[in-house]
Amino acid sequence: MCGSSELLLFFNGWSMDDKPFRHLAGAIDVLMFYDYTVTGNAVDIAALVNNYRHISLAAWSLGVYAAAEVFEGYELGFETAVAINGTLSPIDADAGIPPEIFQSTVNAWSEPAKKRFIRRECSSRYQDFFLKNEPERSVEDQKQELIALQQRILQQPEMGNIFRTAVIGAGDKIFPTASQRKAWAKQNIAVKELEQPHYFFADLNTWEEVKELG
């Protein structure tokens, strides 16, 4: 937090912390959410954002579902609200990650599996950057978070839309590009497509750029 009148709420992806995003600078305040082992519904969001005149939302990957889960029933009036490389139905053969692939990720999660996942998530373009800024979380911790998310998603397979814009990475090998297209075609929002893999934030320099994706 830097004392700005503007706040960006950023819902990070599964398995993450702030480390892969520490290079991002900017003049706006950022409140980052990650580790969805426990639902964020217990957080008093209204109290956290009370002192800000301008509030925006950005969510990435499984953070798209987590943000929709948190803000179900809220009316905060975001200036911008962008979903990045994720969908509101994250375990879905047509509109998310196929259930068998999601389950195999849960079953196989380990250090070798994590290395393979990072290669797919970042592509060769961003892999070195990500590995130098890898989240400081244990494999077991990440696995428990994924199991908790899976359980909640299976109980409520699709969340209502809270986003105004969706960004789709044409090179995304985590959330299939075709699935993202199908998922957001059902929503009355603008869709942008970038020639990017699942993680591409190393290309950005500021949080304003994240916000402006929307």
**Domains in the chain: boundaries:** 6-212
Q: What is the pLDDT of residue 34?
A: 96
Nearest Cα neighbor of 74 from 184, 162, 5, 165 is: 162
Please report the pLDDT score of residue 153 as a whole number. 98
**pLDDT for residue 1 is more than 60:** no
pLDDT band at 4 (very low <50, low <70, confident <90, very high): confident
Locate 124 and state its tokens. Answer: 């060769």
pLDDT of residue 40: 64
Which pLDDT value is given to residue 42? 55
Q: 7 has which bridge partners? A: 29, 55
pLDDT tens-place string over residues 144-199: 999 999 999 999 999 999 999 999 999 999 999 999 999 999 998 999 999 999 99
- The reported pLDDT for the residue numbered 147 is 98
Residue 76 has pLDDT above 80, yes or no: no
Q: What is the pLDDT of residue 73?
A: 75
Shortest CA distance to 205 belongs to which of 15, 86, 5, 27? 27
The correct answer on CATH 3.30.1490.110 for the domain covering 6-212 is: no
Mean pLDDT taken over the chain: 94
Cα separations (Å) of 116 from 12, 16, 127, 181?
20, 16, 11, 25
End-to-end CA distance of the chain: 21
**Nearest by Cα to 194 from 212, 209, 177:** 177
- At residue 15, the pLDDT reads 98
